[in-house]
Structure 1
Amino acid sequence: MSRKPHAGPLQPARIDFSDPLAPLAPEYGDVYHSRAGALPQSRHVFLGANGLPGRWAGREEFVILETGFGLGNNFLATWDAWRQDAARCQRLVFISIEKHPLQGEDLQRAHADSELPELAAALHAAWPPLTPDLHRLSFEGGRVQLLLCLGDARAWLRELVAEVDAFYLDGFNPKQNPEMWDAYLLKALGRLAAPGASAGTWSVAPQVREGLAAAGFQVERQRGFANKGGMCVARYAPRHQPQKPAGRLALAPGARRALVIGSGLAGAACAWALAQRGIHCTVIDAHAAPAQASSGNPGGLFHGTLNPDDGVHARFNRAAALETERVLREHGAALPWLQHGLLRLETRLTLAQMQAQLAGLGLPHDYVRALDTAAAVELTGLALRHPAWLYPGGGALPPPAWVAHLLAESGAQLRLGHQVAQLRQAADGGWQAWDEQKTLIGEAPLLVLAGGHRAQALLQALAPDLPLPLLQLRGQLSHVPELPAALNTRMRPRLPVAGLGYAIADTAQGLWCGATSQDGDLDPDLREADHARNLAQFSELAGLAPDDGPLQAQGGRVGWRLATADRLPLVGGLPVLGDGALPDQLRFLPRRPGLAVCMGMGSRGISWAALCAQVLAAQVTGAPLPLEASLVEAIDPARFLLRVRRQAGSAAA
């Protein structure tokens, strides 16, 4: 799980626009498209070679993979063709890899005179921070999705989990850019190809044709675009169709109904993501209203993280934070309040060390910035004593309102006030939820377990032999509804601040600060000792002097968060465990059909829920995963099983 799709900082594209008809990439000595026109070239070479739009007619989903995003013309031409086609597929997924992505201003300049101005403007508005991640850009209410993979194509093709219907092979000239056309890369296409997949490219170089043939494609040469003498058209027809790994099969193919256990952040997000794929959910919860457990806090933070080696935790948290930021751009206006930007204090590194770390990682300013102490003080209004990381896409929001909005968007049926005592698999393979009186609450072909700490017993009953090191963390939040007048401006942060605890202030409710974290503590009562700890922590964070006087908490909230020992969530299918030897890779481990979990969010429910739900929805339906394989494995519920077996094997050896 340590592999990365990109080693070292991303290098954004440098573009010579001196010839507006044929923008040039100086590093490769090649143009991005023919002078005869970018969109006509896309339509002839890529749509035409792949039989589009005809081949997607009547399909529920059609998946395209492009090996070089470039200026985005192939995506725009394909999106336009989908829009214009009355027989279009229900959902179009366009996966594209780009080693040298455009800066936002260059993307805007490249399409300044586009014949598709509306689509080009939408692409520019959705353009992500240039981080080495898989970015899910959503258009047409989620029916068109661009999965933009920033980094090296060879590495990304190992990380993609998808079944591709059509390939657009588009890179700079093989002489200047040989790695984009070598046998290793082309062979990887066969691993991702759906039966009968097609491919098209403007290149007819011998190594391209030979590489496609070796990967299982039947290749022919057809008339090229404009002054190009030819182009390659290929169909995937291997002698032996490779078998898809058991762990990569759809958990509930064809399901149109689901039971979701839990109406907090995870459950609401799952209902929302499944609804986008045509699955109607019944959400069941023991409480009388949604978001009454750990998702019921009046305010909560969302943000990414970073570490010097850009390891699994940093990459997953960044991917999740970027997805949350994207979703809130679309839905945030529906919330009663939403604070943009989050400051996290840095108490171990100097500003120079922070800046060196950022330079080494190459993370852009629109994801994270290093601020000196004075800038942090100016931004927050607090008398901070340390430099800080600013996450512009982070912030704070009210979780109950966010849950309510996601549930409303999903159109889910709510079955509240029903305590699930048992989950059973029916004779037809579907799933049933029963209460303590042995009354059937609901049944469906798909069951999603998305509760918090209360659902732990249900999870363990479903998977009694699966090692799941789970923690029930008690957290107490403290509320200061009215701040002393003399301290009001010095104690009310202008944006959320974290580090030594955290603090959120809004005009309606005053100051919330916290939170404690105690494993296995089931005391539901507010404790003065915990209030004192929270307020002392805030006083330190805010730089209050001893003579400023003590703060007084007037109420608060206690909740429990379910977390894993490795501080990553549980997302995906539960394994089928037999007496035989286990495979040594998670992707080969078979899963129980119709069953998925999305749990263990800890204190990061707002940051993680949207991405986890999208991953789960893709796993359920067999759609391309919006997260790289190494991170999908890092959140797999079966990961602890293989770790225990490996440790046992090492001890025996």
Structure 2
Amino acid sequence: MKTAPIIPARVDFSGAVPSAPDFGDLYHAPFGAFAQARQVFLDGNGLPGRWAGRRRFVLLETGFGLGNNFLATWAAWRDDPARCERLVFLSIEKHPLTRANLERAQASSPEPALAQQLVEAWPALTPNLHTLDFDGGRVRLMLAFGDARDWMPELVASVDAFFLDGFAPAKNPDLWDDTVLKQVGRLAAPGATAATWSVARSVRDGLTAAGFEVEKRPGSGGKWQTTVARFAPRHRPPVPPGRLPIAPEARDVLVIGAGLAGAACARVLTREGLRVTVLEGGATTAAQASGNPGGLFHGTLHAEDGPHARFSRAAALATERELRRVTPALPWLQWGLLRVERDPEGLASMRTLLSRSGLPADYVQALSAEEASAKAGLTLTQPAWFFAGGGAVSPPALIAAWLAGAAQAEGFQLRLNAPVAALKRDATSGRWSAMNPAGEVLATADAVVLCGGIDSGALASGWTAGPAWPWGSQRGQLSGMPQDLTPPRLAMPVAGLGYALSLPDGALCFGASTDAGDMDPALRASDHAQNVDRLRSLLPSETIPEDMPLAGRVGWRSLVPDRLPIVGALPAERPERRAEQARFWPRQPGLMVVGALASRGITWATLCAELVAAQLTGAPWPVETSLAEALDPARFAAKAHRATT
């Protein structure tokens, strides 16, 4: 998916109803935004009655605007005793409001408490799918910022009701063209409905072509007629196997591994109402790189906004939201991160790149050396990228917080000293068993998520089609300058070639070395020396003592050559056709993986867990399909097929 800078909406508040000068149209009907939402969209889709008793109900809106349709729907859900367990509201907006304009637009909201929560959660205006949770996660708002013609083909969701909104077709034709309406049919769940205030012939014909039965209904309050539709297609193309839910009826899941990936999956899956058992082979959680005393999280920026940059940005934004949620359970958390540029004269090119990307200041800023020094609390000699939503946290503490949260759910178990040597699947029941080295059954469940780092490759062997995943193990040695050496004190982490961060006790943590395939567990003086050299490239040399005794820790990261994680369901067999595309590979029912998080475990774990949970249960995916394919375990098999054809 090709991204473009997000241009915020211009809103004219001078009239009785806010308007959009760039489109020459009002944001809602004069008789009231909530009245319009109830009459046109809720009543037109048979709501709230249709969501009664449902486990999950999914809506999709074209044109978020001022957010009134979402707020009215949330209020209706809240007030309905027979409401569904979870409400998911997908909405696309090419020109989202700034936070200030959203607050102004909602200043007189009929639901001030809900409106304030929306304003407080409003995300950075980046071209991403932003997932915002309310009501303890029971109400989820998924905001896709960008052009609907780009986003609709990229969404994976089974939508129960569509709110076709936006400015009038004559003034905003792109939102109502055949590309968008065709995707409405692709995304529609069986029995889905759609509603809109527009009765334009082109809209009705587009819905009919998409497989809907369309009718006009009498309107009110200045709307003479509205359009409602019910999905009743004569034929539906088959969904590629890689887009189908892996185990939508699953009730219990085994998570193998209790590092960052496993703990994040436990938290997300229990939130989805699943019973989770975490099996950890070691005596403690956070045994490998997840056990470092401090770790970084932050986004990134590249001239070409390719899959790596887009995924890292989406993951960083998801991590920022998650860390703000769990902050009370963490002993320490540093906000803000500086990533220095090697070229001391590179500020001009940095600002050119930032301007071209259109990324907002609340995501990333390009700072001079002087500005960066003020943030760091120490003199830096290079300009730096500043990520306000980045920072540092204790990985073991974060893992503990996630597992403690999961432990609040019914049926959760954490079992230490429970090494898994093999997996078996019962052909009759479809349930999976985890076996220990003696061949004994440790636990059984409807689904399994492999989160054991490079060991996941051995467990997947025999269950995955195509070539073995190109796992690599990378040794990393961390160095620590204890408090009694009076190390330099940083106000926030500084990264570049290596990184440095100040721990709560005043010690300085820095490093880390990177040695592929090296399994030496011993601390090495040569690696400490390398880490000190990198530290001197980041911080003033006079603040770093000579010949100091250093503490340290050795851990191993798992990664693959394309430097992206492996996330999703394992491919079960080679498809007869279109094997060059990962989405067409059939999947092992209920067997998934989150791995190869490399040195970005804190940044990536939350979004990876959210994606696995959505793929498992059939919930809307939290990333676009082109990003999910870049992470897909079947990508290696698809690539191997392309190389032979």
Code of the aligned partner of 1:576: A
Identity of aligned residues (%): 54
Residue 378, structure 1, aligned to residue 374, structure 2 = yes
Which of 568, 571, 578 in structure 2 is aligned with 1:575?
571
Matched residue SS, 2:199: coil
Please say if residues 250 and 446 of structure 2, whose CA atoms lie closer than 8 Å, have aligned partners that are also in contact: yes
Structure 1 residues 627, 464: CA separation in 2 closer, same or farther (over 3 Å shift)?
closer
Mark the CA change 1:572 to 1:463 in structure 2 (over 3 Å): closer, same or farther. same
Aligned equivalents of 1:394 and 1:558: distance in 2? 24
CA distance in 2, matches of 1:553, 1:79: 58
Task: Say yes or no: does 1:437 pair with 2:442.
Answer: no
Q: 1:581 to 1:43 in 2, by over 3 A?
A: closer
Map Cα deviations across residues 301-344 of structure 1 (whole Å, 9 max, x no partner): 00000100111111000000000001111111210000000000
Give runs of aligned pairs for residues 256-405 of structure 1, distance below 5 A.
256-348=251-343, 350-405=346-401
Does structure 1 conserve the Cα–Cα contact (< 8 Å) formed by 2:465 and 2:573? no
- SS at structure 2 position matched to 1:593: strand
Contact 1:30 1:173 in 2 (8 A): yes
Of 193, 196, 216, 2:188 maps to 193
Q: Distance in 2 between matches of 1:172 and 1:125?
A: 26
The aligned residue for residue 605 of structure 2 is 609
AA aligned to 1:135 is: H
1: CA distance, partners of 2:368 / 2:21? 37
Which residue identity is paired with 1:413? Q
> Which residue pairs with 2:526 in the alignment?
529
CA shift at 1:185, angstroms? 1.4
Q: Aligned pair in 2 of structure 1 residues 548, 625: CA closer, same or farther (>3 Å)?
A: closer
Who is 1:32 aligned against?
27
Is the CA contact (8 Å cut-off) linking 2:450 and 2:592 kept in structure 1?
yes
Contact 2:464 2:572 in 1 (8 A): no
Instruction: Tell me which residue corresponds to 1:123.
Output: 118
Supply the distance in 2 between the matched residues of 1:373 and 1:155 (Cα, whole angstroms).
Answer: 38
CA contact (8 A) 2:466 2:574 kept: no
1:556 corresponds to: 552
> In the alignment, which residue of structure 1 is the partner of 2:541?
544
Q: CA deviation at 1:504?
A: 1.0
Please give the TM-score of this superposition, normalised by the length of structure 2. 0.97
Following the alignment from structure 1 to structure 2, what is the Cα–Cα distance between the partners of residues 208 and 403? Answer: 50
SS in 2 for 1:93: strand
Report the counterpart of residue 493 of structure 1 in structure 2. 490
| Alignment correspondent of 2:426 | 426
Distance 1:464 1:235, change over 3 A: closer
Q: Is the 8 A contact 1:478 1:553 kept in 2?
A: no
Q: Give CA deviations for 1:156-188 in whole Å, capped at 9, x if unaligned.
A: 001101111100000101111111111221111
2:213 partner SS = strand
**Amino acid corresponding to residue 612 of structure 1 in structure 2:** C
1:49 counterpart residue number: 44
2:206 partner letter: G
Residue 230 (str. 1) matches residue 225 (str. 2): yes
Shift of 1:578: 4.2
Deviation at 1:551, TM superposition (A): 5.1
Deviations 1:362-381 (A, max 9, x none): 00000000000011111112
Distance 1:219 1:579, change over 3 A: closer
Asked if structure 2 preserves the Cα contact closer than 8 Å seen for 1:57 and 1:89, the reply is yes
> Are 2:618 and 1:622 aligned?
yes
The answer to whether the 8 Å contact 1:303/1:393 transfers is: yes
Deviations 1:175-221, CA, capped at 9 Å, x for gaps: 11111111221111111011111000000011111111111111110
Q: For residues 334-361 of structure 1, give each alpha carbon's deviation from its aligned partner in whole angstroms, at most 9, with x where no partner exists.
A: 1000000000001147111111101100
Letter in 2 for 1:638: A
Q: Secondary structure at the match of 1:270?
A: helix
**Contact 1:258 1:448 (8 Å CA) reproduced:** yes
Deviations 1:391-413 (A, max 9, x none): 00000000001001101111230
C-alpha distance in structure 1 between counterparts of 2:42 and 2:9, whole Å: 25
SS of corresponding position for 1:377: helix
- Alpha-carbon separation, structure 2, partners of 1:258 and 1:551: 51
Offset at residue 453 of structure 1 (A)? 2.7
1:244, CA displacement in angstroms?
2.1
Q: Does 1:637 align with 2:633?
A: yes
Offset, 1:553: 4.0
- Distance in 2 between residues matched to 1:422 and 1:103, nearest whole Å: 52
Deviation at 1:461, TM superposition (A): 4.3
1:159-198 pair list within 5 angstroms: 159-198=154-193
Report what 1:475 is aligned to: 476
State the alpha-carbon separation in 1 of the partners of residues 211 and 242 from structure 2: 24
Structure 2: how far apart are the matches of 1:548 and 1:84? 61
Which residue, 247, 253, 260 being the options, matches 1:252? 247
Do 1:60 and 1:90's aligned partners in 2 also have CA atoms closer than 8 Å?
yes
Offset of residue 587 of structure 1: 2.0
Q: Matches of 1:580 and 1:72 in 2, distance apart? A: 46
Contact 1:466 1:638 in 2 (8 A): no
Mean CA deviation greater in 153-162 or 426-435? 426-435
> Helix, strand or coil: the match of 1:232?
strand
Unmatched segments (≥5 aa) in structure 1: none
| TM-aligned CA deviation for residue 261 of structure 1 | 0.3
Counterpart CA distance in 2 for 1:568 and 1:548 is 34
Can you list the C-alpha shifts for 1:114-133, whole angstroms capped at 9, x where unaligned?
A: 11001000001110000000
8 Å contact from structure 2 (residues 574, 586) kept in 1:
no
What is the CA distance between 1:647 and its match in structure 2? 1.6
**Whole-Å separation in 2 of the counterparts to 1:384 and 1:225:** 64
Cα deviation digits, residues 602-643 of structure 1 (max 9, x gap):
110000000000000000001100101100001001111111
TM-score by length of 1: 0.96
1:307 and 1:205 mapped to 2: Cα distance?
Answer: 42
Alignment of 1:71-220 (within 5 A): 71-220=66-215
- Secondary structure of residue in 2 paired with 1:66: strand
Report how far residue 467 of structure 1 moved: 3.5
- Partners of 1:467 and 1:439 lie apart in 2 by 26
| Superposed CA RMSD | 1.4
CA contact (8 A) 2:461 2:468 kept: no
**Any idea what the Cα deviations from partners look like across 1:236-272, whole Å, max 9, x if unmatched?**
1111133222111111121111111000000010111
Amino acid in the other structure paired with 2:548: Q
Counterpart residue number, 1:587: 583
Give, as a single letter, the amino acid of the residue that structure 1 aligns with 2:101: D
Return the offset for 1:384: 1.5
What letter matches 2:476 in structure 1? G
- CA–CA distance in 2 between the matches of 1:146 and 1:439? 44
Assess if the C-alpha contact under 8 Å between 1:535 and 1:551 holds in 2: no
Q: Deviations over 1:105-157 (max 9, x none)?
A: 00000010111001000001110000000000011111110110000001100
Instruction: Note if contact 2:5-2:358 (Cα within 8 Å) is conserved in structure 1.
Output: yes
8 Å contact kept, 2:294–2:503? no
